Structure 1
């Protein structure tokens, strides 16, 4: 039965151009105040390596105060590649926070007909014989051209994946060097991947951001060096397979260590820029949430030294002893108790104010009884996944959505009212693509490339136990082909091709959203071997006074106060837990924290109040 009262109460309202009330997390407050780091204060320790699966001992952060300028550009969609540096005015901006984020110090929205320019001095060190300086930008939203001393050294499109450039030949030894970045971001005025961002925020859509929003840094490396590493630990075989990309010729030596002690070693020659090694690890200790055991990896290639890690674990969907399809970790059924993680912050938007802030969210979820975070329509920084690896928190990773303007009729109203539509609509062909905002071939190409890049970026993290490809029909197209492509890239993890509705009878999960009907297990008539999960439900709203961004709030059921909120939420979670006995393989509660107008988080947006513990 559909709860029409709840549906009507949760109907999205037209966005209002109302200023957000400033909210500061404890970590962002310290940054904004320019507070010095007291000796021994753990929350403010320097961050760990920005790429923990391919780390060298020395790296230099370029985060901090840059200058930025906004330049009018009616032709911004093409001009970003060749536009001249503007005269200004130039204003200070704190990187890696987008200019729209309070922590940037700007509070300025980039418009689709503007270009955003960054510049800063590049204090390049003196390079030894054969050394190279590689610049890393870990996320720039959306398209950018990068210059060193006026020489274009890189260009990149795609707002969620990292890229790098060897800038050595553009440096001027013994002189001042300068770094500049030109950015174009149409946000939802374009069709590119954008996730939950919208220029007119409101309801489930959040403030659009732009520009550099993850770490900027560089490292000095030998000319002959490791360029990539993929590690696959196979428990049944007791071995680690390493695929190493290199620049140069020679031999790669690899070591696997457990608690500092070497347990395996091997060497292999480089052939055509590649090297593959298989290292035997006797009686490997398995990774699990209860025992998140990691093995360290060390690589040596000439003068280059690289650190990484891996873990032994398996994850699959198969029948349990009663024949019910479930997610199995290391061969044992595991009931997924998940919570939706948007990864947004009032002071940093998509950029967490610190690594300690990420740790706070992961640990808060665990303390509330969850064993899984669904990283929702966002690729988080690698430190987050490394933290989950160490903490034993499972992650179900969504792909980022995009496409044209979404039709509320097709992505909300029809599937909400007519459950039969969930399995009877195709996403193949021109008509379906128009209906689901996926008509632009450039969008479809970017989605495929970013999907593959996301799998490649995160495949080495044992905490990541599955992929979600499309959510609620947003820009959905050819889900069956997409599922096959991801399986080919990564056969070791389950795939949820669609989350919410418009199921295409593929993948490993029958994944539904249920905000407006009684919680129950629905039969999977299309593909009975899939596990049934409720990948979104709940959404009880409570706006805690003094901890909200807006006077209006959005959720699926409003609680009157702390006691009412806790009673409603705990009741929903208990009902979901009880469905395990009826065949439910897992759930994802909406959601971990409030975000702007959404007040249905278990934590307030500023992370200062845990609503279930109030």
Structure 2
């Protein structure tokens, strides 16, 4: 009888939670929106490249309120919001605009597990857009600016007994400010999309010892057959020791030890290489010892791969993967969702787009003016897909000079705007540096907020010399970085050529096909060209592919097709925005894509 009562109580509780939340609005949604459990939202470990065994997920229903700027914490909150979905999204259960004149307040309580006693407790945020203030038990414990990178606070000194009160305040002016925003716009239309404000990645707790590993950085060198690893730590002394164990599956292939602060260069004489065709990953176990005692352990992974350029026998400078000419070809991937905006509804949804990209026969993704959660990059590492990582644009744009090479124009930014850009670009690179799938950094796109191009490209290359730098994808061009990137719609065209660097086609295509029942809006839908059915679209896609194959011989070393999915008013995706329809003939698409990807094979 008691068991039945408990089950009945749990059912009533769950019904109550669901009654407080439902997806908002009448726009299209993905199939994964129907599977969301408010008690288990994105439950997967959020940082698999540096994983510990113990953690607590704080996603779920929080209280929220929207107040004018400068107010104290509200006495009464407006209702419930589902974290980690942006307040403007359907899946938040709110779907309200925030705007520059308001602040978004969040509140929830949590308890610290009893077996975490005497531990240092870290509060992690995957990403919050844009300015975040965090309060614990009515004490302001930290502030963060930036919309795309993780941050954390040691909350141990501010914990009390029992329930802990957590309050988060967010301000986000979107395009009415100077911060990086990507495709978000305060007035969305055309190629500009709905704003994303507030918490949009997982919030979680993690117990560690006072002396613990803070971050790891792995850089492979296949020419010397060594893997370099830098381990940053907290509250350690020089006598503490870091140990790295490299494994092939469960078999140990190498070990190394060093004092804290020393880079380890681990020989791997019988190394296995990583590529899209064979995405081999070494497992890493990283241990921290103090006074001979193990005080922290994280699991990670790494890959041996090299990205570089070299002139071929015909005098064309090619991009190489693992010292072989390798044509990189993939879609422009915006990473937007009709129900979650920046946030995929589930991890299954997150991996779906990557797997379909592989199924289509591509070997690369250009992640367009957005940064993804850590799990997305791990999926790319595991599935085997190359990634070009864009910096999200912001501020104003100078006139776009797509076909001019020697006289590109630039924006003169304010000091605040420059500082926002450089802070976040460095944070993004620090966040993503260890993911082997990332092979190219892209600081600017089509003159969007483009400034100090040479300085920025050279800083990027110096900060991470292990990858290529695409200084300005599609414009405005300068003789800097590792490639010249052209944009041309709809079909491929080679209208500029660089004899000293690889020439790439950073965007083309945009073949539109609006499908009734799968549209974000009933009208004002567009592509660069429009067709009426799947056969027409596939025929045009294949025609562009045949043209591209000829231009590869003439000088192109990589290409990016626009785009993976429809996004809001854009209907030029390989798939619909809700991911329910593949709009092209997949077999014909895969065949021509595989021919393109293998065009430089010898």
TM over 0.5: yes
CA distance 1:54–1:529, shift in 2 (3 Å): same
1:342 to 2:342 alignment: no
CA distance 1:539–1:167, shift in 2 (3 Å): same
1:600 to 2:572 alignment: yes
C-alpha distance in structure 2 between counterparts of 1:401 and 1:238, whole Å: 37
Q: For residue 11 of structure 2, what is the aligned residue in structure 1?
A: none
Contact 1:256 1:297 in 2 (8 A): yes
Q: For residue 504 of structure 1, what is the aligned residue in structure 2?
A: 478
How is 1:96-495 mapped onto 2 (pairs within 5 angstroms)? Answer: 96-126=84-114, 130-173=118-161, 175-247=162-234, 248-249=236-237, 250-270=240-260, 274-301=261-288, 302-404=294-396, 406=397, 410-411=399-400, 415=401, 419-420=403-404, 423-427=406-410, 432-433=411-412, 439-495=413-469
Q: For residue 12 of structure 1, what is the aligned residue in structure 2?
A: none
- CA deviation profile, 1:443-499 (whole Å, cap 9, x unmatched): 111111211121111111111010111111111101100111011111111111001
Q: CA RMSD in A?
A: 1.9
C-alpha distance in structure 2 between counterparts of 1:142 and 1:277, whole Å: 36
- CA deviation profile, 1:67-96 (whole Å, cap 9, x unmatched): 1100112xxxxx4xxx52112333100000
Q: For residue 522 of structure 1, what is the aligned residue in structure 2?
A: 495
Contact 2:87 2:197 in 1 (8 A): yes
1:544 to 2:520 alignment: no
Q: Secondary structure at the match of 1:589?
A: strand
Which consecutive unaligned segments of at least 5 residues does structure 2 have?
1-23, 289-293, 587-602
Which consecutive unaligned segments of at least 5 residues does structure 1 have?
1-18, 38-43, 74-78, 434-438
TM-score (norm 1): 0.87
Equivalenced residues, count: 554
Q: Secondary structure at the match of 1:611?
A: coil
C-alpha distance in structure 1 between counterparts of 2:415 and 2:513, whole Å: 41
C-alpha distance in structure 2 between counterparts of 1:534 and 1:241, whole Å: 33
Q: Secondary structure at the match of 1:164?
A: strand
Q: For residue 76 of structure 1, what is the aligned residue in structure 2?
A: none
TM-score (norm 2): 0.89
Q: For residue 13 of structure 2, what is the aligned residue in structure 1?
A: none
C-alpha distance in structure 2 between counterparts of 1:495 and 1:480, whole Å: 11
Of residues 338-347 and 312-321 in structure 1, the stretch that sits farther from structure 2 once superposed is 312-321
- 1:145 deviates by 0.3
CA distance 1:576–1:88, shift in 2 (3 Å): farther
C-alpha distance in structure 2 between counterparts of 1:47 and 1:146, whole Å: 23
Q: For residue 70 of structure 1, what is the aligned residue in structure 2?
A: 66
Contact 1:423 1:502 in 2 (8 A): no
Q: Secondary structure at the match of 1:497?
A: coil
- 1:263 deviates by 0.7
Contact 1:540 1:558 in 2 (8 A): yes
- CA deviation profile, 1:417-458 (whole Å, cap 9, x unmatched): xx34x542232xxxx42xxxxx22211111112111211111
Of residues 246-255 and 100-109 in structure 1, the stretch that sits farther from structure 2 once superposed is 246-255
Q: Decide which of 24, 28, 48 is 1:23's aligned counterpart.
A: 28
Q: Decide which of 561, 564, 577 is 1:589's aligned counterpart.
A: 561
1:92 to 2:89 alignment: no
Q: For residue 55 of structure 1, what is the aligned residue in structure 2?
A: 51
Q: Secondary structure at the match of 1:365?
A: helix
Contact 1:70 1:88 in 2 (8 A): no
C-alpha distance in structure 2 between counterparts of 1:423 and 1:400, whole Å: 25
C-alpha distance in structure 2 between counterparts of 1:402 and 1:453, whole Å: 16
Contact 2:73 2:105 in 1 (8 A): yes
C-alpha distance in structure 2 between counterparts of 1:36 and 1:136, whole Å: 19
1:535 to 2:523 alignment: no
Contact 2:38 2:82 in 1 (8 A): no
